[in-house]
Amino acid sequence: MHISITTPLEGAGLALFTYILTLIIALIVAGIVKLMYRLIHRKGQVPGPPKEERKIEEILT
Amino acid sequence: MNYFGKLFEGIYTLFTGSLEMALIRILLIVAGLALIYLCYKKILDPLILLPMGMGMVAVNAGMLILEGGKVGTMFVAPLISDPTKLLEALQVNFLQPLYTFTFSNGLIACLIFMGIGVITDVDYLLATPLPSMMLAVGAELGTVLTLPVAMLWGLNVKEAAAIAMVGGADGPMVIYTSLILAKHLFIPITVIGYLYLSLTYAGYPFLVKIMIPRRMRGIAMDPFAIPRIPAAEKLAFSVVALLVLSLLFPVAAPLFASFFLGVAIKELNVQRFKEFLTGPILFGSTFILGLVLGGLLSADIVGDVIVLKLLVLGMLALFLSGVGGILAGLLYYKISKGKVNPLLGIAGVSCVPTTAKVAQKAAFDANKFAMILPYAMGANVAGVITTAIICGIYVGLVPLMS
């Protein structure tokens, strides 16, 4: 099947399709990132420097 | 041709061609001088626009009569496709090797993307993936809405998609899409794209002031609330994202490979490569890009009515993307019950790191303690990914539909 886009209305359809597809893929990418985060930090600990280190950083910045 | 004409061909050719062409030449020289002046005044970004301005002045002043009596330049001939003529042009035009071997195959865009990958911090995107991606999707409004508007104005679907990509505010993507979809409009679209990207720094602050009340702009966010992401996770993200996006959009795989290679090098901390990509490659490519674009802006190439349309459409695309980003930011503000600064939305426009800096500057103007840059960078990097997705869709789908 060949779809031809020649009119502005068809262009608007393509734009809408593109936007929805982008939204879906963006959700998938966000889901993958979230999943990776969960897999790496299964024990629930939040990575990051100890509180003392953060204080030093705060002072430095 | 008389002796005067032979001696001073640049001046002579102003009077031998049509009046229209002479006026366009003078206009482009003045535009080049204006670019140089605005760079000097720090209003525009000199990294691209200074070599571009110098190139514009030189190419339009330095027109001469070529073989066969045709007026042209000794800079670059972008429209040649015949191999014999191309070989001749490579031996004569000084920018031709750079154009032929780095522009017409998209290499320059990939090189810039490698450098951008190395300077991009994906921490904030990984810490807040969903909000960052949604803000970025909101900021793609111009990239999609400009397509039907351009078609309404008489452009075909390929040309419309190519100019709509300016709304993504990502120079390499604009180059790449226009090269594949509308090679005949590559020069004006790319120039307009880069010119406007420089103007986002001047234009978007006004847009955010109009659309976001000062009270909201001043909302402070705790940068230390963002968890630290280990390098291994960021490396894994770059590999997985490259794999998934390349599987989905093979046509844009060179761009994905370039960007995520840069990210991987940064996270693996390969010092030599980092220095190479952020120094010679990124700045070298940016310099070459500006110079070649300036050299391409000669009157005989851009003297077309369609350029005016592209100028308006490019501006519309960036305006709509800015509006879309801000609306997404305001929605995020509502959902978070006022905890999130809506300025994050403008950072969803993927002009790394300019729009994130615009968001931070606007926040500082409203409240000098409002630090939002780390969060804004999350939306900013997500913007690169969403623009790459739309680039992949346009480049892959549009040729089948024209």
Do A47 and B229 lie within an 8 Å CB cutoff?
Answer: yes
Q: Judge whether residue A55 has pLDDT over 70.
A: no
CA distance B45 to B51: 11
**Residue A57: pLDDT band with limits 50, 70, 90:** low
Do A36 and B237 lie within an 8 Å CB cutoff?
Answer: yes
**Among all residues of chain B, which has the CA nearest to that of A54?**
B224
Distance from CA of B69 to the nearest CA of A (A): 40
Residues 6+ apart with CB under 8 A from B55: B32, B75, B290, B291, B292, B293, B294, B295, B296, B297
pLDDT value, residue A42? 60
Q: Please state, as a whole number, how many other Cβ atoms lie within 10 Å of the Cβ of residue B337.
A: 7
**Among all residues of chain B, which has the CA nearest to that of A23?**
B137
Helical axes B141-152 vs B157-164, angle rounded to 10°: 150
Distance from CA of B181 to the nearest CA of A (A): 14
Distance from CA of B102 to the nearest CA of A (A): 29
Q: Which residue has the higher pLDDT, A37 or B334?
A: B334
Token look-up 């100890």 returns A50
pLDDT value, residue A11? 94
Chain A 32-61, residues with CB within 8 Å of chain B CB atoms:
32-34, 36-37, 40, 46-49, 54, 58
**Any CB–CB contact under 8 A between A20 and chain B?**
no
pLDDT value, residue A49? 52
pLDDT value, residue B308? 79
Q: What is the pLDDT along chain B (402 residues), one digit of tens a residue?
A: 677 777 888 888 888 878 888 898 999 999 999 999 999 988 877 888 899 999 999 999 988 888 777 888 889 887 777 889 889 989 999 999 998 898 877 788 889 889 989 988 888 888 888 999 999 999 999 999 999 999 999 999 999 999 999 998 888 888 889 988 998 888 788 878 877 776 677 789 899 999 999 999 999 888 777 777 888 888 988 998 899 888 887 877 888 899 999 999 999 999 999 999 999 999 999 899 889 988 888 887 776 668 778 888 998 999 999 999 999 999 999 999 999 999 999 999 987 778 888 899 999 999 988 888 888 988 988 998 899 899 989 998 999 887
Question: Domain locations in chain B?
Answer: 1-74, 102-401
Q: Tell me which chain B residues have a C-beta less than 8 angstroms from the C-beta of A50.
A: none
pLDDT value, residue A12? 95
ipTM of the complex: 0.79
Q: Judge whether residue A4 has pLDDT over 70.
A: yes
Q: Judge whether residue A53 has pLDDT over 60.
A: no
Question: Domain locations in chain A?
Answer: 10-60
Distance from CA of A43 to the nearest CA of B (A): 15
User: CA of B1: how far to CAs of B5, B25, B371, in Å?
Assistant: 6, 21, 66
User: CA of A42: how far to CAs of B122, B129, B157, B367, in Å?
Assistant: 21, 18, 48, 38
> Tokens in use for A40?
């790496």
Q: Tell me which chain B residues have a C-beta less than 8 angstroms from the C-beta of A55.
A: none
pLDDT value, residue B390? 94
For residues B121 and B381, the answer to whether their CB atoms sit within 8 Å is yes
Residues 6+ apart with CB under 8 A from B206: none
CA distance B180 to A3: 19
Q: Tell me which chain A residues have a C-beta less than 8 angstroms from the C-beta of B228.
A: 47-49
